[in-house]
Amino acid sequence: MSSAIIVSHDNARTRLLTNQEIKLFNMASKPYPKSALPSLTYSETLTLHFNDEEIEVVHYAAGHTDGDSVIFFRNANVVHMGDPFFLGMFPFIDVGTGGNVLGLADNVKRVLSVIDDKTQVIPGHGALSTKDSLRDFYQMLVETTAEVKAMKDKGSPIWGNHRRHLVGVRGFEPPTPSSRTTCATRLRHTPKSINTGTIAAYPLLECNGV
């Protein structure tokens, strides 16, 4: 039986060759065995032709990590976002592997510009989604990041007396002191309820690279 071909961005394979650690989650991993390493890598884009489908793999840099791949199934009009899209949640930005929330927002905007209203969107976390939900996610990233940056520029503390302001309006689970280093704070509502002017909760500062 032939083995499967594993495809990744160059950076992802490089990281799999060495010890990796995410201190935030107290997670550590050893180098992957040869059999589990990607055997096909790319730098910018890669096109595969399989089962009458044109599959385009595109690198979006400095988002969730520096090795994010977004997969477009051109004939089926489907896009697999992977970890750059957390449906109904604040994302985890792995700054230790080159992630940045500003880059993530820009990457999501770029994807939105090349899909249509009928595109099926597969998130890295969450159920099958739509362009509208991805647009809501983008809007949340832009607005929360702007508010966090404004407070940071003023020298305002994120915690303590400002916590109620940070939680903001309905729907967002408030950050707690024990979660001040996590970027995966969940939303209590569905993405459809996210709209301009109602978002005052915050993806956290340092772990999101703001």
Longest CA pairwise span in the chain (Å): 62
In 3D space, the residue among 138, 8, 132, 137 whose CA is nearest the CA of residue 70 turns out to be 8
Coil, strand or helix at 178:
helix
In 3D space, the residue among 43, 47, 68, 66 whose CA is nearest the CA of residue 57 turns out to be 47
CB atoms within 10 A of CB 171: 14
List the chain residues with pLDDT less than 70.
Answer: 1-2, 157-210
Measured between alpha carbons, how far is residue 82 from residues 46, 60, 122 in Å? 16, 11, 7
What per-residue confidence (pLDDT) applies to 187?
34
CA angle 90–95–98, rounded 5-degree value = 120
What per-residue confidence (pLDDT) applies to 48?
96
What per-residue confidence (pLDDT) applies to 144?
86
- Taking the C-alpha atoms of residue 9 and residue 63, their distance in angstroms, rounded to an integer, is 13
The one-letter amino acid at 93: I
What per-residue confidence (pLDDT) applies to 17?
96
Query: Phi and psi for 137 in degrees, rounded to 5?
Result: -65, -45
Assign 3-class secondary structure to 81-116: EEEEEECCECCCCCHHHCCCHHHHHHHHHHHHCCCC
pLDDT tens sequence across 162-199 = 444 433 322 333 334 333 333 333 333 333 333 333 23
In this prediction the pTM is 0.76
In the numeric block, the tokens 């994302």 are attached to 91
- Taking the C-alpha atoms of residue 183 and residue 206, their distance in angstroms, rounded to an integer, is 9
What's 7-208's CATH class?
alpha beta
What per-residue confidence (pLDDT) applies to 19?
94
CA neighbours closer than 13 Å in the CB half-sphere of residue 116: 5
DSSP 43: S
In the numeric block, the tokens 């509208």 are attached to 132
